[in-house]
Amino acid sequence: MTKKIKFILNVSLTAVMLLLMDPRSFYGLVFHEWAGLIIGLFFLLHKALNWTWIKKVTMGFIRRCPRRARLNYVLDIFLLMGMFLMIFSGIAIAKTIDFSWLNLGGSHMFWRVMHTSSSYITLALFGIHLGLHWKWVVQRFNFKKDKKWQKELAS
């Protein structure tokens, strides 16, 4: 069941992340701002569902752990920072949701550049993350050959 939730969550995160890259498209700024906040919550849920792995690699980072796990761990840290910067800067420049009570300061141009830059960098990191997990993605879409996944879908 957890793998099914992770898969649906991952596909949803990917789709929404791509939709959010152009706030001026058909869905508009209101959707962009609310979906941006919601994707941040989904990102935290994704991390919570993978907490066992995070804890295991964190504890094993000092000791010996596989290079691939270390690479994923470091990439996840950069993704976390990127998501934080995107959400924080998005809150600072929000037009349809009132966050003025936060008094974040800084110029609008600074926050806009921060938001755009962190968005593109995080998207690139997200692509690398997806590429490193591509085998898992393909296995999830290869329903006919993966008997274990078929059993999970049936339950």
CA distance 121 to 84: 12
pLDDT tens-digit readout, 40-93: 887 788 778 888 877 877 777 666 777 787 788 889 889 889 988 998 898 888
pLDDT tens-digit readout, 15-36: 877 888 877 776 788 888 888 8
pLDDT tens-digit readout, 86-121: 988 988 888 888 877 777 888 889 999 999 999 999
More confident residue, 108 or 142: 108
Task: Report phi then psi at 10, rounded to 5.
Answer: -65, -45
**C-alpha triplet 50, 52, 55: angle, nearest 5°:** 110
Residue 1 has pLDDT above 70, yes or no: no
Containing structural domain, residue 58: 2-154
Query: Counting every residue, how long is the chain?
Result: 155
Domain count, the chain: 1
Residue whose C-alpha is closest to residue 126's, from 67, 83, 85: 83
CA distance 20 to 8: 18
* Percentage helix, strand, coil for the chain under 3-state DSSP, each rounded to 5: 80, 0, 20
Letter for the amino acid at 4? K
